[in-house]
Amino acid sequence: MVHRHHERIHIDDRNLCKLCINELGDLYMDLGLSADELELLAMPRRSFTFHFPVRMDSGKTRMFVGHRIQYNDARGPTKGGLRFHPELTVDDVRDLAFLMVLKCAVVNIPFGGSKGGVVVNPKELSKNELEQVTRAYIRAIQDYIGPFKDIPAPDVYTDEHIMVWILDEYERIKGQHVPAVVTGKPYELQGIKARTYSTSLGGIYVLEEAMKRLRMSKARARVSVQGFGHVGENAARILFEEGFKIVAVSDSKGGTMNSRGLDIHKVMQHKEKTGSVADFKGGRNISNAELLTSDCDILIPAALSDQLNKENAGRVRAKIVLELANAPTTTEADQIFSKKGIMLVPDVLANAGGVVVSYFEWSQSLTNEYWDEEKVLRKLKSVMITAFHDVFALCENRCRMRRAAYQLAVRRILHAERMRGNL
């Protein structure tokens, strides 16, 4: 239906957000989208692909490819990460920018969505070369970013050090202090408390609300976490410290499981020494695939996309799936979970804590304030709980929260467009 509709309105396929069409396909009839509304949602507002030179340590000049897509700014300046990756494509950037639009709308913060990056393997660059690539990228897009235009943030293979280079280069160009041009900064340069674990904690606030709906007890809940990187490790640590029983964790090299519960602090120490959670003495080794279908009440995919699919979704035993990774569940798996009565909390809600705290950082940078950690956490909890209830209110009977979250986001975006006279 959507495909025929798409053909009828002749959307330019070169600029089409295919993820948008796929994700909104199920909602097309529910929301009664017009051709104008679908076309507005399916195409980014501004797309940049550019080439810029960088002098390498060898003295030779190398050309790099950069992308930045500002998908929609009806609700506020665009906001989105900057990633450095050798296989980055403009299609990747477009899809990620679209998801950022939805995420910001779901948690109701006044941002649109964007994404950007450089096609490069940062592991092959020296620290100086990495800095020069970052600064050259910012010089190339200087006129199109800013506190009230588009605000970059850390993403894959970028961190607070790279955000400092962005801040410094932009301020050199503008000749003034502009701390709100970027988020993810170190605390000493008007960064914000709790940023490093905000994505994980925001997801846990949402998880606790979901557990209340299902009348699940924290003391009895068994949790499996796929992905023991930054987000997954923090989620496991916080849950463990709050009294949850973590029965399995994994990383790219393998996993460990103990049905009586893992001591996450010891698991973290083991990974720091060995580079992996595998071979932890307090558990038995399992694969990533085994973890997904392990005997648990709460499953947290916090690693790669498409991990839960039609092949394994039927064997998932959890009552709640909390998506801390981006797009870890395929559409087919989502449908299977719905039939089984498994509550799936979608990524656009579950992992939005990071962008919420980025919004707080932007706000405090605009006013030259420093917020204490208690204030940040109090406001984060309020936003995430409100967003959960906003989404859940749209569910019917057996709740499909992804569909409800998309409905909520699309309605908010289109309302802003109508208020501006664009529809």
In the three-class reduction of DSSP (H, G, I as helix; E, B as strand; rest coil), residue 256 is classed as strand
Q: Are 312 and 290 in contact (CB under 8 A)?
A: no
Q: Give 50-114 as a DSSP string.
A: EEEEEE-TTS-EEEEEEEEEEEE-TTSSEEEEEEEETT--HHHHHHHHHHHHHHHHHTT-S-EEE
Q: Which residue has the tokens 């990633």?
A: 83
DSSP state of 342: P
Q: Can you read off the two tokens belonging to residue 275?
A: 């580079």
Distance of CA 155 to the CA centre of its chain: 9
Distance of CA 107 to the CA centre of its chain: 12
Any catalytic annotation for residue 123? Answer: no
Q: Are 400 and 214 in contact (CB under 8 A)?
A: no
The residue annotated as part of the active site, out of 18, 60, 79, 115, is 115
Burial of 276 (0-12, 13-18, 19+ CB in 10 A): middle
Q: Are 161 and 131 in contact (CB under 8 A)?
A: no
What residues contact 377, with CB distance under 8 A and at least 6 apart? Answer: 194, 201
Torsion of CA 163, 168, 171, 175, to 10 degrees: 180
Q: Are 348 and 329 in contact (CB under 8 A)?
A: no
- Residues belonging to the active site: 115
